[in-house]
Structure 1
Amino acid sequence: MTNEFFALSLKGTERDNNQDFSINGKREDDKELWIIADGATCAKNSGYFVSEFCRRFLESWLTRKPLVDIADISPLLKEIHEQIRRDFILSKGCVLLLIVDPQNEEQHCFYLGDCRLGTVYENDTFSNINWATYPHSLTYTEMGANEEVLCESPNRHILFNILNARRFEQPTHIILRLDLRKPIILATDGFWSLFPARLPRNLNQDEIKKYFNENIWTDDCSVLIRIPSI
């Protein structure tokens, strides 16, 4: 099975610059790395910080010998953080990484903050999203996995376990068993906080762009979608 991807990002109407970022790559052993990140609006140069962090991590994951294994992910994240933190001392943000091995039923997700990962399911009108991760937010800690509350609570922006240039924080690591025959979505909070988070029934570039343009996104809004195909 091969796959393609769609990546879309819009600047929020209440933002001066788009500080979201996404990237993906496939290694010689056929393992895939998918990354999405969101720079903090209130912290200087955060968009540059998260994009540099993600680019360097992907490059190391693709090229380092011996190949980077799951046990090496957190140490490598810390190494990249140490390389760039002095250039972005005031910056912070959120990041989520998904490692897919098409030959394995398990996928590995590492994340800090409120970027999210889910699986897309078509229905009669729209494509619904079943989220597999939950944000490191005060709202989730206090209220649990009620999607409407997670999206609409004024405390959803209060985060812990973020990507912070001042100090390295260990990411949450979860092992998933996603259905790789379904589309997989990585998204920043600008997208998933529009309740209910959904996509067009037909997942193609034109339809997704149309859906994005039909909505008002006050925050930067980004998705990275893995589309399986035979």
Structure 2
Amino acid sequence: MGFDVDWYSQQGTRTPDNRDYAGVRKRADTILCIVLDGSTSTPTSGELVREITREMVDWYVASAVEITVETLTAQLRRTHESLSKTFPSDTASYGIAHFDAVGRTLVLHAGDCLFGRYDENGPVQWLTQPHTLANALGEMPVDEIAKVSARHRLTRSFRSREFIMPDAVEIDLAGASLVAATDGFWAELNLAEQLEFVDRRYQPTRSERDDRSMLLIRYLDDGQKNRLSQRRGPSENMYLR
């Protein structure tokens, strides 16, 4: 089983550093992918997301444990214990996807990183909901959540003062690609701009904007080789092992 992985990230204007981050590691015929978005309002959230990525990816490399909701959550908890004292005031959103050898995709997420199904015939079909005050009372269409200012208040995240359980879901891609995106992508771009971003045609305006990033992953047909692209995405914001 092979995989095609494409990371694309544009820095915004709200912080001096790009606080979107991604990590990828293949193990035999499975792969672990993680996307994170550090808070713009806390001082070293960019450093926090880098350390979370490294700890999760390095664990995946070194461990032979079966990947389940329980084993991923246990490692997230250990990562939280490891980093909470170093980053006492920082927070981050994250999404983790594990692709196994028989076509199953397990997703864990907390905060406002979203996962969607994408094919070349239409816009991204969002499969998860963000954890925000805007939709705290029930599910809402993602494009409606994007219009509400309360979406900036997260109800779940990686936060140092306490460990919060992520949501978990198994996704059937049915031949399509999986998009893992930060809120600069799904909330600040309209449908046409999202497609331009996926195709690397989107040019940012000079107006204030968040970092925006997208990790695109798809299964390859048998016999095809793994590919990893970073087209116009900063290499310092991607961790590979």
Q: Which TM class, normalised by the smaller chain length?
A: 0.7 to 0.9
Q: Does 1:147 align with 2:137?
A: no
TM-score of the aligned structures, taking structure 2 as reference length: 0.83
Aligned to 1:42: 41
Amino acid at match of 2:114: R
Query: 2:102 is matched with which residue?
Result: 103
Query: How far apart are the structure 1 equivalents of 2:120 and 2:65?
Result: 40
Paired residues of 2:7 and 2:216 also in contact (CA < 8 A): yes
For the residues of structure 2 that align with 1:44 and 1:198, how far apart are their CA atoms? 29
- Could you give the per-residue CA deviations for residues 114-169 of structure 1, whole angstroms, max 9, x where no partner exists? 0001111223xxx4100111000111224632233211111110111110012111
Displacement of 1:75 in angstroms is 1.0
In 1: Cα distance, 2:165 partner to 2:210 partner: 26
Residue type of the partner of 1:221?
R
In structure 2, relative to structure 1, the CA distance for the partners of 1:214 and 1:43 (3 Å cut) is: closer
Which structure's relative contact order is higher, taking Cα pairs within 8 Å and 6+ residues apart?
A: 2
Pairwise CA RMSD: 2.1
How far apart are 1:69 and its partner, in Å?
Answer: 4.1
Following the alignment from structure 1 to structure 2, what is the Cα–Cα distance between the partners of residues 163 and 214?
A: 28
Measure how far apart 1:199 and its partner are: 1.8
| Paired residues for 1:1-230 under 5 Å | 1-28=1-28, 30-104=29-103, 106-123=104-121, 127-142=122-137, 144-179=139-174, 181-193=175-187, 194-196=189-191, 198-200=194-196, 207-208=199-200, 210-211=201-202, 213=203, 218-230=209-221
Q: What secondary structure sits across from 2:86 in the alignment?
A: helix
Stretches of structure 2 lacking an aligned partner (at least 5 in a row): 222-241
* Paired amino acid for 2:19: Q
Aligned length: 218
Tell me the percent identity.
25
Is this contact kept in 2: 1:15–1:218, CA < 8 A?
A: no
Q: Assess, with a 3 A threshold, how the Cα gap between structure 1 residues 15 and 69 changes in structure 2: closer, same or farther.
A: same
- Distance in 2 (alpha carbons) for counterparts of 1:135 and 1:68: 23
Distance in 1 of aligned mates of 2:101 and 2:195: 25
Q: 1:149 to 1:69 in 2, by over 3 A?
A: closer
Letter in 1 for 2:143: E
Cα distance in 2 for residues equivalent to 1:68 and 1:60: 11
Query: Shift in Å at residue 90 of structure 1?
Result: 1.1
Task: Name the SS for the 2:101 alignment partner.
Answer: coil
> What's the offset of the Cα at 1:63?
1.1
Aligned counterparts of 2:94 and 2:143: Cα–Cα separation in 1? 22
The CA deviation at 1:175 is 1.9
- Quick check: 1:143–1:149 contact (8 Å CA) kept in 2? no
Aligned-pair CA distance for 1:184: 1.2
After TM superposition, the structure 1 stretch with the greater mean CA deviation from structure 2, 139-148 or 39-48, is 139-148
Task: Give structure 1 stretches of 5+ with no counterpart.
Answer: none
Q: CA deviation at 1:177?
A: 1.8
